[in-house]
């Protein structure tokens, strides 16, 4: 854990829970190169900073105009 108590690396399941999405979306982002991941033996790990960068790069939702 880092000095702030947050994990530095997340499993795919943990990353999906933290991003409030499903494992398939995380694996899809990894496979397309949009989300960086690392291997430690058989485990796929995602750095918390890489998950945050991925989420920050998602397109902004345009506000709906009110009529």
In which domain, by residue range, is 35 found? 9-57
Own/partner long-range contacts of 5-8 (Cβ < 8 Å, ≥24 apart)? 6/48, 7/48, 8/47, 8/48
List pLDDT tens digits, range 24-62. 999 999 999 999 999 999 999 999 999 999 999 999 999
Q: How confident is the model at residue 5 (pLDDT cuts 50, 70, 90)?
A: confident
Residue 44, domain CATH: 1.10.10
Whole-prediction pTM: 0.83
Give pLDDT, residue 64.
87
For the chain, the domain total comes to: 1
Has residue 49 been placed in a domain? yes
Has residue 1 been placed in a domain? no
């Amino acid at each position: 854990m880092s000095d702030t108590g947050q994990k530095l690396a997340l499993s795919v399941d943990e990353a999906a829970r933290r991003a409030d999405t499903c494992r398939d979306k995380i694996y899809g982002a990894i496979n397309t190169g949009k989300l960086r991941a690392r291997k430690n033996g058989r485990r796929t790990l995602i750095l918390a900073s890489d998950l945050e960068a991925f989420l920050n790069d998602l397109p902004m939702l345009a506000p709906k105009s009110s009529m």
